[in-house]
């Protein structure tokens, strides 16, 4: 049973139903489900730098390598299960009258847990698309076998994620900017806050007058601007915040 962590009176007074809440998550919230983060010591990018794998140029230069890297990551996420941090955010969504969950993660775990209307800023590794005709593929059915597979139109199939140097889905990022600037309480959970434009959301929330929280096992690039940092695992901290719900 997770104990109740001590929090400030300011945060306690905001944990009421009418508070407008936005949560931004990064790879850290999936770490306790066994998904390697990006920049940690065991990080996915230990062997390769992000620019060598998560870019369109990398894919065009070496489609097999990039495809195999995503297949390796898809295998990992096939077996994983949501952890108490994901589950707590479903409770958050049920409790607060106005709640938005924005994620940088591509593992689809929030949706799998039951969170609704998740804003996936960087796409979803479970989905693919054709680089030539843009056709989206929820599964590889209808594609031509190969590494990477090919679309009947002849184009290579790629993961439907946002690579470095690529625009984020316009509707997703616009919505994220809007709700972050209007919320009362913003949580940055399990993200190193180095990847833009997602990393600007806590700043936008702060400028909009929100109380900005950080939940992380270690300090990050935004620790100096948040109102309150809760140091620890999101799988322990988020469920213990649910205990404060009235
Ligand atoms: C764009 C999908 C422009 C693919 C990803 C200089 C300044 C500002 C911006 C830039 C710049 N130079 C370059 C840029 C742009 C670039 C960028 O931000 N680069 C960074 C590295 C400097 N951004 C882009 O390219 C974006 N596009 O800007 O387009 C544009 C404009 C016009 C026209 C065309 C283009 C696109 C960015 C999206 C890239 N795609 N992923 C894939 O996943 O393969 S990013 C990738 O990083 C993931 O999505 C990931 O979510 C994201 C952020 O990483 P984190 O989630 O934070 O993960 P990380 O490992 O870093 O940290 C984990 C954290 O968890 C740690 O803090 C750790 O302490 C904590 N933790 C661990 N365990 C726990 C925990 N916390 C709590 N509990 C635990 N148990
Ligand atoms: Zn095609």
pLDDT tens, N- to C-terminus, the chain (246 residues): 556 789 999 999 999 999 999 999 999 999 999 988 877 666 665 677 766 799 999 999 999 999 999 998 999 899 899 999 999 999 999 999 999 999 999 999 999 999 999 999 999 999 999 999 999 999 999 999 999 999 999 999 999 999 999 999 999 999 999 999 999 999 999 999 999 999 999 999 999 999 999 999 999 999 999 999 999 999 999 999 999 998
The structural domains of the chain, with segments of one domain joined by +, span 9-35+82-122+168-242, 43-79+130-161
Quote the CA–CA distance of 228 and 7 in Å, as a whole number.
9
Ligand 1 contact, 25 CB (< 6 A): no
CA of 150 to the centre of ligand 2 (A): 8
Select the CATH number that applies to the domain covering 43-79+130-161 from these four: 3.30.70.1110, 3.40.630.10, 3.90.1170.40, 3.30.1600.10.
3.30.1600.10
Ligand 1 contact, 216 CB (< 6 A): yes
CA of 115 to the centre of ligand 1 (A): 22
Quote the CA–CA distance of 102 and 201 in Å, as a whole number.
10
Ligand 1 atom with the shortest distance to the CA of 192: 67
Ligand 1 atom with the shortest distance to the CA of 195: 18
Find out whether 190 and 26 touch, Cβ atoms under 8 Å: yes
Q: DSSP H helical segments within the chain, as ranges?
A: 9-14, 28-31, 50-53, 56-61, 63-79, 84-95, 109-113, 170-182, 201-207, 234-242
CATH architecture of the domain with range 9-35+82-122+168-242 = 3-Layer(aba) Sandwich (3.40)
Q: In this structure, which residue's CA is closest to atom 64 in ligand 1?
A: 191
Q: In this structure, which residue's CA is closest to atom 1 in ligand 1?
A: 165
Q: In this structure, which residue's CA is closest to atom 67 in ligand 1?
A: 192
CA of 82 to the centre of ligand 2 (A): 33
């Amino acid at each position: 049973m997770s104990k109740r962590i001590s929090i400030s009176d300011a945060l306690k007074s905001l944990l009421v139903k009418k508070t407008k809440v936005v949560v931004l998550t990064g790879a850290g919230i999936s770490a306790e489900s066994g998904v390697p983060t990006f920049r940690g010591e065991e990080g996915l990018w230990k062997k390769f730098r992000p620019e060598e794998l998560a870019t369109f140029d990398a894919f065009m230069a070496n489609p097999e390598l990039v495809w195999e890297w995503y297949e390796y990551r898809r295998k990992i996420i096939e077996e994983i299960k949501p952890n108490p941090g994901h589950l707590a955010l479903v409770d958050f969504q049920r409790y607060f009258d106005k709640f938005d969950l924005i994620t940088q993660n591509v593992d689809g775990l929030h949706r799998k847990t039951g969170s609704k209307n998740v804003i996936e800023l960087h796409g979803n590794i479970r989905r693919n698309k054709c680089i030539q005709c843009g056709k989206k593929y929820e599964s590889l059915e209808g594609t031509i076998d190969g590494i990477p597979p090919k679309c009947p139109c002849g184009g290579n199939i790629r993961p439907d994620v946002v690579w470095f140097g690529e625009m984020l889905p316009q509707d997703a990022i616009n919505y994220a900017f809007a709700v972050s600037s209007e919320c009362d309480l913003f949580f940055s959970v399990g993200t190193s806050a180095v990847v833009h434009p997602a990393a600007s959301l806590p700043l936008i929330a702060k400028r909009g007058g929100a109380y900005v929280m950080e939940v992380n096992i270690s300090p990050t690039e935004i620790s100096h601007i948040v109102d309150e940092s809760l140091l620890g695992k999101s799988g322990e901290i988020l469920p213990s915040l649910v205990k404060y719900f009235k």
